[in-house]
Amino acid sequence: MWFAALSPAYARSWFGPFTERLLRGDRDTLRLLARNPFPDAPPAHVRARVFHYRFTDLRELRATGNWWHRTYVREFTRPVSRPLPPEREGRETGREQC
């Protein structure tokens, strides 16, 4: 996914559908990942954030075991949530449907 942050215009056409399919637990989409990060159930929410990574030097690697530093840059997309099934709408907030 790293290349999506390099060119948001490139990612615009596929990243939204990708996250929607993750929320549905789409098997073909999950196969695109090295491992399924949601083995038990599809996620309720997905967000994408951009980080800057910098490798540590040899001294720091030996002292800490850390290979890199990660610094938050910005949100890539707004968080998206899986729609509630019709029978659950209103219950999540404690409000019943009228």
Q: Is there a domain that residue 35 lies in?
A: yes
Q: What integer pLDDT is reported at residue 12 of this predicted model?
A: 82
pTM higher than the cut 0.75: no
Comparison of pLDDT for 7 and 64, the residue scoring more: 64
Quote the DSSP letter at residue 86. G
d(CA 62, CA 44): 39
Residue 25 has pLDDT above 80, yes or no: yes
- Do 4 and 11 contact (CB within 8 A), yes or no? yes
Whole domain around residue 67: which residue ranges?
Answer: 11-88
Q: Is there a domain that residue 23 lies in?
A: yes
Q: Is there a domain that residue 49 lies in?
A: yes
Residue 98 has pLDDT above 70, yes or no: no
Q: Is there a domain that residue 43 lies in?
A: yes
Q: Is there a domain that residue 96 lies in?
A: no
Number of domains in the chain: 1
Q: What integer pLDDT is reported at residue 94 of this predicted model?
A: 54
Q: Is there a domain that residue 6 lies in?
A: no
Q: Is there a domain that residue 74 lies in?
A: yes
Q: Is there a domain that residue 2 lies in?
A: no
Of 69, 89, 73, nearest in space to 81 by CA = 89
- Average pLDDT of span 25-49: 94
- Average pLDDT of span 1-6: 75
